[in-house]
C-alpha cells in the first residue's frame, strides 16, 4: 500500500517506472533466510525473476546462491556479489561460449538438461583439463496445476531428462571422466498456488527418482527442487510476503534425505514480485462505442505478462486516492499505447472516475516485469526507482499540469 507522501513524490517523476519497495524486499528476503535455516534448505535465488543490480546485491549479501539460465546471468550474478561456487546454471540450450565462460568462472554446478549437453560439457572440460560439477535436471512428469506456459515438469515440456533415458544417462555419467556428478535438479513450474499438495507430490516422485539413481551407484549429494511458490496477485497488501513456511515445511517433511544430503530451492517470483509496482499515467480517456478506455503510458513493452499469459495484475488509481472526494466508480478497459490489440492491462475494471494525468499503479510487478521488457515500438525502457532513493529518480517536465 503506497502512502500519500510517496504518491506526492511520484508526481515529480517521469512515468512509466518500476518502483521497488526496498523495505518489503528486505522483509521478504529476511523471512526466506530465517525459514530456510529453520528447515535446513539452501536457497539459490532465480535471477531471471529480477536481475536489478541493487536487488541482487541485497540478496547475495544474505549468503544465498544464484540460479541462472544464461551466460550473461551467470556473469551478472557474479558481479553482483554471488560467489562463483554458489552459482548454478540451468537452461536447455547453453551455447559453447556460455559453457566456456561459466566453466572458467568455476561455478557450483551446471544443471544439465540433455544427454548431449552432458557429453559436450565433458568434452569441453577435458579440453581445458578441468572437472566440471554437474547436476542433472530431471523431468518428473508432474502437473504443477498452473498456467500452461509456466508448466515445466510434464513430458510434453522441453525441460529436463525423462525416465526413458535414465539408464543411458547413468551409463554416460559413469564414463564421463571430466564430470563430477553432484546431484539431481527439478523444477516443475511457476506461480504454484496449491502449494502443500503439489510440492508434496513433487517430493514423493523425487524420493523415488533419487533412490533409483543411488541404487544404480550414483551418489546424489544435492537434491534441488527448483522454485515455483506462487504469490497473491489479487491481494498484494493482504499477502505481501508469500507463504514460504508452507512451502519449506512441506519439503522438510516430505523429502527423504540423509544427513549428508543437501536440499536446495530456487525461489524467484516469491522473493521479488510484491515489492515491485509499475507506475504509469493516464494519457487519454476515451469513450468507445461500448466501453470506456483508459490509455496509459505503460504498455506491453514494459510488462508483457498480461499480453503473454493473460495474467492478472491489480490496478489502482493513486491520484484518485488523494482526491478529497472519491467520486463515483466506473468500468474501464485499461490499455497501453502499443500498436497491438493484446496491449490490455485489464478489461472492465471498476475504478474511481479517472482523468488525464492520473497516476496508476500496476501491482505485483517485481518479478518477470522489468526483466521481460522490450523496446517494441522503440519505446524507452522504464527505469527502476527505489523507495529509499526517490530523489535520484528521473524528473518529469510537468506536461500533465499545463493542460
Ligand atoms: N528454477 C528454474 C530452473 C526455473 O526455470 C525457474 C523459473 C525458477 C527456478 C524460478 O521459479 P519461480 O520461483 O519464479 O516460480 N515469465 C513467467 C515465469 C517463468 C518462470 C521460468 N522459470 C511469468 O511471468 O509468470
Q: Are residues 191 and 107 in the same domain?
A: yes
Q: Are residues 62 and 130 in the same domain?
A: yes
Beta strands per DSSP E along 128-178: 132-137
Indicate the top mutation candidate among 42, 44, 46, 59 to test ligand 1's pocket, ranked by most ligand atoms within 8 A of CB.
Answer: 46
21, three cell numbers: 519497495
Q: Are residues 255 and 303 in the same domain?
A: no
Q: Among the three residues 225, 245, 267, which one is the final residue of a domain in this structure?
A: 267
Q: Are residues 199 and 319 in the same domain?
A: no
134, three cell numbers: 554437474
The reply to whether 327 falls in a domain is yes
Q: What ligand 1 atom has the least distance to the C-alpha of 190?
A: 15
CA of 88 from ligand 1 middle (Å) equals 14
Q: What ligand 1 atom has the least distance to the C-alpha of 372?
A: 16
Q: Domain of 147?
A: 22-267
CA of 198 from ligand 1 middle (Å) equals 16
pLDDT given at position 143: 82
CATH number at 87 reads 3.20.20.10
pLDDT given at position 154: 77
How much is the pTM? 0.96
pLDDT given at position 399: 59
Q: What ligand 1 atom has the least distance to the C-alpha of 367?
A: 24
Tell me how many domains the chain contains.
2
Q: Are residues 236 and 295 in the same domain?
A: no
pLDDT given at position 400: 59
Of all protein residues, the one whose alpha carbon is nearest to atom 8 of ligand 1 is 227
313, three cell numbers: 495484475
The reply to whether 403 falls in a domain is no
The reply to whether 401 falls in a domain is no
Nearest CA-CA partner of 206 in 220, 181, 191, 223: 223
pLDDT given at position 157: 81
pLDDT given at position 326: 66
Q: Are residues 126 and 259 in the same domain?
A: yes
Distance CA 25, CA 322 (A): 26
The reply to whether 399 falls in a domain is no
pLDDT given at position 397: 62
Q: Are residues 296 and 315 in the same domain?
A: yes
Q: Among the three residues 239, 267, 295, which one is the final residue of a domain in this structure?
A: 267
Q: Among the three residues 267, 296, 319, which one is the final residue of a domain in this structure?
A: 267
The residue ranges of the chain whose pLDDT is under 70 are 326, 397-403
Question: Sign of the CA dihedral 229, 61, 64, 81?
Answer: positive
Of all protein residues, the one whose alpha carbon is nearest to atom 16 of ligand 1 is 368
* 318 and 2 Cβ atoms separated by less than 8 Å: yes
The reply to whether 400 falls in a domain is no
26, three cell numbers: 528486505
Amino acid at each position: 500500500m503506497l502512502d500519500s507522501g510517496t504518491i506526492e513524490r511520484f508526481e515529480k517523476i517521469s512515468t512509466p517506472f518500476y518502483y521497488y519497495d526496498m523495505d518489503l524486499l528486505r522483509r521478504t528476503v529476511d523471512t526466506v533466510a530465517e525459514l530456510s535455516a529453520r528447515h535446513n534448505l539452501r536457497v539459490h535465488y532465480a535471477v531471471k525473476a529480477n536481475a536489478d543490480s541493487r536487488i541482487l546485491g541485497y540478496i547475495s549479501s544474505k549468503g544465498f546462491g544464484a540460479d541462472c539460465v544464461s551466460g550473461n546471468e551467470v556473469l551478472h550474478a557474479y558481479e553482483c556479489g554471488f560467489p562463483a561456487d554458489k552459482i548454478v546454471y540451468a537452461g536447455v540450450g547453453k551455447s559453447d561460449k556460455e559453457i566456456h565462460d561459466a566453466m572458467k568462472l568455476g561455478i557450483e554446478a551446471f544443471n544439465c538438461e540433455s544427454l548431449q549437453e552432458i557429453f559436450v560439457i565433458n568434452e569441453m572440460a577435458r579440453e581445458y583439463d578441468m572437472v566440471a560439477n554437474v547436476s542433472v535436471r530431471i523431468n518428473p512428469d508432474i502437473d504443477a496445476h498452473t498456467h500452461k506456459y509456466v508448466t515445466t515438469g510434464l513430458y510434453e515440456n522441453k525441460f529436463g531428462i525423462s525416465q526413458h533415458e535414465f539408464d543411458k544417462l547413468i551409463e554416460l555419467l559413469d564414463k564421463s571422466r571430466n564430470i563430477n556428478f553432484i546431484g539431481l535438479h527439478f523444477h516443475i513450474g511457476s506461480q504454484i498456488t496449491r502449494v502443500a499438495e503439489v510440492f508434496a507430490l513433487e517430493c514423493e516422485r523425487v524420493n523415488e527418482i533419487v533412490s533409483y539413481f543411488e541404487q544404480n551407484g550414483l551418489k546424489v549429494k544435492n537434491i534441488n527442487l527448483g522454485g515455483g511458490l506462487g504469490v497473491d496477485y489479487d491481494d498484494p497488501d493482504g499477502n505481501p510476503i508469500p507463504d514460504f513456511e508452507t512451502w519449506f515445511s512441506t519439503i522438510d517433511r516430505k523429502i527423504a534425505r540423509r544427513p549428508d544430503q543437501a536440499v536446495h530451492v530456487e525461489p524467484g517470483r516469491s522473493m521479488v514480485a510484491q515489492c515491485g509496482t509499475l507506475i504509469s499515467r493516464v494519457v487519454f480517456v476515451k469513450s468507445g462505442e461500448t466501453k470506456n478506455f483508459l490509455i496509459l503510458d505503460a504498455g506491453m513493452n514494459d510488462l508483457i505478462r498480461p499480453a503473454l499469459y493473460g495474467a492478472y495484475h491489480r490496478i489502482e488509481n493513486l491520484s484518485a486516492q488523494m482526491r478529497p472526494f472519491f467520486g463515483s466508480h466506473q468500468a474501464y478497459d485499461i490499455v497501453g499505447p502499443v500498436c497491438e490489440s493484446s496491449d490490455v492491462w485489464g478489461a472492465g475494471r471498476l475504478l474511481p472516475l479517472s482523468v488525464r494525468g492520473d497516476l496508476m499503479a500496476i501491482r505485483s510487478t517485481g518479478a518477470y516485469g522489468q526483466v521481460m521488457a522490450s523496446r517494441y515500438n522503440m519505446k524507452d525502457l522504464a527505469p527502476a526507482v527505489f523507495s529509499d532513493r526517490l530523489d535520484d529518480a528521473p524528473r518529469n517536465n510537468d506536461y500533465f499540469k499545463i493542460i
